[in-house]
């Protein structure tokens, strides 16, 4: 169970964790009318720092815009609210979950009669794919489920409804004994994990599915691309990736706010490279974690201090 914290921000007020409730006839519950973010706050030598706060809130606002939901707060005001939730709960490090949804109003598919509401919660969240995943890598499968086809559910919106597809991928993987599943897109090209973007290294070239391969445009993906291109001077190709490229990769890894940089040891029981964290993955993971935890200078301006 999620470890409770004291306060949740709900529609303009701070309420006790146990009082942060909504009506069972809320539109979001019946029709998936909700967009959200997942953000990490790291403990650093200069106090708690939120990673890529404005980029996440910008994506939240983009998701809301796609679904015609209007918010009364500016992006800067909403960022400040996230920081205030962390302060009130006195968190040193945490996961931040802002959610924007249609609440209680009318019933029926038409969402326009339901109010746009929002909540921000924080909690402690450790390694996403298990405690040993970051060092040892995870065993994954290719899912029998595809990611959404274009013109169905927009994958650039981080909408709750998309995560029904993620849940099918995740449940199938778990029940088959894997840590995670990789979904292909509707054309059979590699897309992403149920909650992570994917990278592949082969002959010193990095490959990652393009935005058109039904992925969420990950903010960790963006950060990792910066490090690979600017610092490691590696060639990166955003392209359609064949399933079999996974099997013959030298290295494979997931990226995500929750997953950070997680190596993949095998796919469909085929060992990837040496079957453990590869050299590029290790270097990247180390550099990424050093920046986000404030052990290396924040040269890209990724961190926002929580304390005023």
From the candidates 46, 158, 233, 308, which is the catalytic residue? 158
Please list, in sequence order, all residues whose beta carbon lies within 8 angstroms of the beta carbon of residue 280, skipping any fewer than 6 positions away.
Answer: 201, 206, 232, 234, 251
Among 71, 75, 258, 289, binds ligand PPE (CB under 6 A): 258
CA distances (Å), origin 288, targets 29, 35, 174, 298: 36, 27, 28, 10
256 binds ligand PPE (CB under 6 A): yes
Candidates 25-33, 192-200, 225-233, 266-274; binding stretch for ligand PPE (CB under 6 A)? 192-200
173 binds ligand PPE (CB under 6 A): no
> Least distance (Å) from ligand PPE to the CB of residue 278?
20
> Least distance (Å) from ligand PPE to the CB of residue 52?
8
Is 92 in the active site? Answer: no
Among 117, 180, 185, 192, binds ligand PPE (CB under 6 A): 192
Candidates 3-11, 41-49, 257-265, 282-290; binding stretch for ligand PPE (CB under 6 A)? 257-265
First to last CA, the chain: 32
214 binds ligand PPE (CB under 6 A): no
118 binds ligand PPE (CB under 6 A): no
195 binds ligand PPE (CB under 6 A): yes
Indicate the residue among 221 and 277 with the shorter CB distance to ligand PPE: 221
Candidates 100-108, 188-196, 230-238, 274-282; binding stretch for ligand PPE (CB under 6 A)? 188-196
Among 133, 219, 228, 265, binds ligand PPE (CB under 6 A): 219
Contact 147, 161 (CB under 8 A): no
Please list, in sequence order, all residues whose beta carbon lies within 8 angstroms of the beta carbon of residue 81, skipping any fewer than 6 positions away.
Answer: 9, 73, 120
86 binds ligand PPE (CB under 6 A): no
> Least distance (Å) from ligand PPE to the CB of residue 141?
16
38 binds ligand PPE (CB under 6 A): yes
Residues binding ligand PPE (CB under 6 A) = 38, 166, 192, 195-197, 216, 218-221, 255-259
Q: Return the active site residues.
A: 158
């Amino acid at each position: 169970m999620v470890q409770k914290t004291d306060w949740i921000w709900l529609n303009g007020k701070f309420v006790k964790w146990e009082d942060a409730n909504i009506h069972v006839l809320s539109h979001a519950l019946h029709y998936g009318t909700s967009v959200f973010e997942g953000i990490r706050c790291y403990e650093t030598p200069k106090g708690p720092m939120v990673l890529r706060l404005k980029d996440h809130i910008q994506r939240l606002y983009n998701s809301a815009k796609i679904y015609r939901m209007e918010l009364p707060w500016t992006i800067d005001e909403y960022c400040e609210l996230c920081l205030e939730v962390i302060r009130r709960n006195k968190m040193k490090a945490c996961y931040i979950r802002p959610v924007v949804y249609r609440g209680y109003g009318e019933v029926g598919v038409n969402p326009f009669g339901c109010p746009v509401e929002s909540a921000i919660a924080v909690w402690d969240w450790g390694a996403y794919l298990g405690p040993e995943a970051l060092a040892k890598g995870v065993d994954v499968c290719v899912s029998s489920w595809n990611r959404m086809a274009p013109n169905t559910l927009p994958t650039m919106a981080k909408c709750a409804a998309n995560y029904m597809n993620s849940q099918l991928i995740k449940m199938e993987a778990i029940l088959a004994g894997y840590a995670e599943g990789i979904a292909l897109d509707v054309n059979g090209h590699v897309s992403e994990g149920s909650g992570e973007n994917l990278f592949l290294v082969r002959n010193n070239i990095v490959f990652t599915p393009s935005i058109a391969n039904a992925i969420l445009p990950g903010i960790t993906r963006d950060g990792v691309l910066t490090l690979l291109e600017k610092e490691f001077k590696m060639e990166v190709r955003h392209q359609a990736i064949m399933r079999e490229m996974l099997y013959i990769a030298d290295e494979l890894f997931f990226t995500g706010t929750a997953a950070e940089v997680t190596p993949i040891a095998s796919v469909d029981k085929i060992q990837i490279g040496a079957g453990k964290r590869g050299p590029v993955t290790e270097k990247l993971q180390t550099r990424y974690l050093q920046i986000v935890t404030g052990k290396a200078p924040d040269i890209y301006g990724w961190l926002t201090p929580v304390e005023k």
